[in-house]
Structure 1
């Protein structure tokens, strides 16, 4: 457990059994409160690769977080997937240390759960959670960064927990990227490129599509037409592109972050999130500081065909009233990041810096 500004971070409260590093897999990094943990089984079923999850667990929410994790591990069929793939990190406000943590210290472990009882996240409302009632800030970018700190693979995919990738994506992507690197085609700057998956809205009663053809059918049958990022024409062009085998390939390349809510990146090279920014949205371009930073650093955004993301539900941590950052604040943060990374790159030896652009 380590202190991080006004928070304590318990790294690897739960440590996955299987070790994954290098380019053997992709780590999905995400964040949540215990109220979001009901989304984990679906994510585990579809991802089946390492997941690094940061959970905000202050005051009495800490106990409910531990109970919810115990329920998922001991009572659901996905418990084995959790043991194999899931690492959990707890983030706690320093002024709201849980009583159990004070009493047990770091020897506190996840106890078995009586499965006849409902899980805490099934019988609670977000407005009744400890952090919500106390009007605490949800430190979204700290949580995102903590999840990334604990990723051990070369590639990561940073998503909010409400976003669901397609099944079998990890194996397909690793095969795809190896082929493209061997052929050295279309990816002129691999170290400053990210691989974007188009994101589509969802309705609660609609099934979760597993292939592109299924996605097209679901969108049509359930009249789901609201595009993420408002790129209606680009979204329709992507949907109309034929890909009967669902092979991964590059649909388009851009210097703008179009249709790029979720993406694969190189963990060690991509800038972290600005932790001063507590309400950064990955859906709203006007409030997406990270997107502005990547564009300012001349990143290339490669939109993939043959894979997609579904926004399974809305972000529960946004259910309380949050103050939107002013445009001037976003611009000020962006300028700080832009100057820092450009100065940082200028310190690299020229030969090494040139290698980053081949």
Structure 2
């Protein structure tokens, strides 16, 4: 016997056919909260006019890569209007970040994992450990996709319905912990990381209308999902503009000995005492130079709500801005010819958003913070060679294509 699903819960198997559960009593406040949430989500559905997306298992070629879409699915599915999907990527060595991220996000996550050669088996073991040995939210909310080059296949790929036969031995050290890069297949074969292939896989498979395409090491401020959807439901002010729009989040780093702040008030204190800094301040400050950033740091409104703080554009002195934002499926995808090692991997999307006259609606209380540890520039000879090749051979071709496909506009450039 199964209970009927509600909008926010999965069905549960009754432990006994004869077992009678005591009725759950709700207070007036509980009922009011449920009614308020239902009203918000109904308005979001009407405003977005979105459609629900099925989750399908499929194995397909994508350029030079085989992709196992929805290979390990989350138990919980979602209607298009009821939440936001965080889409992200990495290889199995980054999976120690997943549970802390999930606890902060408290919503669906779609993650694409790069697993060439024997990295595939370690990737499967890592997923099994996360699902069997860590927080139950992993099973409920995280969908894993796996991809690898056609020239670097695993020895064997189990069918999606036969991936995990046994419960993982949780007494073992997690496969993703303390891994040397020299141990990895991709390192031994000197493969580059096709970051935009991963970003697009994770994004295209998201069930929801709204998507936060982010990095797995970036932690969101708390309660972002309900606050954002309430703002969308209000549907006023700059949200009524007819221009296409995305919602960038200001990015920060904190010292290695400090906790990631949950709210803006805590973040502002850390910025003032120097324990937090703007993201990549010591690596590429222009890449994250944000319109009205100083004013944003000096403003603190009701932290239980979200509003549009400023409407910016990715042009002029902000032509190098690499925002991470909440958007929708209509936002242009990333160019899959660009790799992480070659840098400039977000520039083509940024150019398209500029030419298409997207509004960048910067939010007042939402932000992202990298896991503790301030990044500094480190010279990488191999990466510099790849960057030089990308800048001299790949980007000139892409620039010409972008102008043909999207046109040109004063202030919009691809560096």
| Length-normalised TM-score, structure 2 | 0.73
Q: 2:336 aligns with which of 268, 275, 281?
A: 275
Deviation (angstroms), 1:15 = 0.8
Q: Secondary structure of the equivalent of 2:144?
A: strand
Are the equivalent residues in 2 in contact too, given 1:296–1:338 (CA < 8 A)? Answer: no
Answer yes or no: is 1:109 the counterpart of 2:171. no
Deviation (angstroms), 1:145 = 0.6
Cα distance in structure 1, aligned partners of 2:77 and 2:381: 37
The equivalent of 1:95 in structure 2 is: 151
Q: Secondary structure of the equivalent of 2:311?
A: strand
The equivalent of 1:249 in structure 2 is: 307
Answer yes or no: is 1:216 the counterpart of 2:274. no
Cα distance in structure 1, aligned partners of 2:382 and 2:296: 35
Moved more, 213-222 or 288-297: 213-222
The equivalent of 2:177 in structure 1 is: 122
Q: 1:2 aligns with which of 35, 47, 60?
A: 60
CA 1:233–1:271: 2 relative to 1, 3 Å: closer
Deviation (angstroms), 1:45 = 0.1
Cα distance in structure 2, aligned partners of 1:105 and 1:232: 45
CA 1:215–1:127: 2 relative to 1, 3 Å: farther
Cα distance in structure 2, aligned partners of 1:337 and 1:3: 24
Q: 1:165 aligns with which of 220, 224, 230?
A: 220
Structure 2 segments unaligned to the other structure (5+ residues)? 1-58, 409-415
Structure having the larger proportion of residues in helix: 1
Are the equivalent residues in 1 in contact too, given 2:334–2:346 (CA < 8 A)? Answer: no
Q: Secondary structure of the equivalent of 2:339?
A: coil
Q: 1:186 aligns with which of 238, 254, 258?
A: 238
Structure 1 residues 312-327: aligned runs within 5 Å: 312=371, 321-322=382-383, 323-324=386-387, 325-326=390-391
Q: Secondary structure of the equivalent of 1:121?
A: coil
Deviation (angstroms), 1:188 = 4.5
State the Cα deviation string for residues 121-172 of structure 1 (Å, max 9, x = none): 1131224311111111211111111111211111111011121111211111
State the Cα deviation string for residues 258-308 of structure 1 (Å, max 9, x = none): 5662101111x1111111112388xx7796222122112211111110110
Structure 1 residues 56-67: aligned runs within 5 Å: 56-67=114-125
Q: 1:266 aligns with which of 307, 322, 328?
A: 328
Are the equivalent residues in 1 in contact too, given 2:263–2:303 (CA < 8 A)? Answer: no
Q: Secondary structure of the equivalent of 2:228?
A: helix
Cα distance in structure 1, aligned partners of 2:396 and 2:215: 24
Are the equivalent residues in 2 in contact too, given 1:29–1:144 (CA < 8 A)? Answer: yes
CA 1:85–1:319: 2 relative to 1, 3 Å: farther
Deviation (angstroms), 1:9 = 0.4
| Length-normalised TM-score, structure 1 | 0.84
The equivalent of 1:72 in structure 2 is: 130
Cα distance in structure 2, aligned partners of 1:221 and 1:266: 36
Structure 1 segments unaligned to the other structure (5+ residues)? 344-358
CA 1:223–1:47: 2 relative to 1, 3 Å: closer
Q: 1:138 aligns with which of 175, 193, 204?
A: 193
Are the equivalent residues in 2 in contact too, given 1:30–1:160 (CA < 8 A)? Answer: yes
Moved more, 221-230 or 13-22: 221-230
Q: Secondary structure of the equivalent of 1:293?
A: helix
Deviation (angstroms), 1:217 = 2.2
Are the equivalent residues in 2 in contact too, given 1:12–1:87 (CA < 8 A)? Answer: yes
Structure (1 or 2) with the larger CA radius of gyration: 2
Are the equivalent residues in 1 in contact too, given 2:192–2:340 (CA < 8 A)? Answer: no
Q: 1:40 aligns with which of 83, 93, 98?
A: 98
Answer yes or no: is 1:83 the counterpart of 2:148. no
Cα distance in structure 2, aligned partners of 1:7 and 1:34: 18
* C-alpha RMSD of the superposition: 2.7
Answer yes or no: is 1:289 the counterpart of 2:348. yes
Relative contact order, CA 8 A, sep 6+: which one is greater? Answer: 1
Moved more, 159-168 or 31-40: 159-168
Deviation (angstroms), 1:236 = 2.8
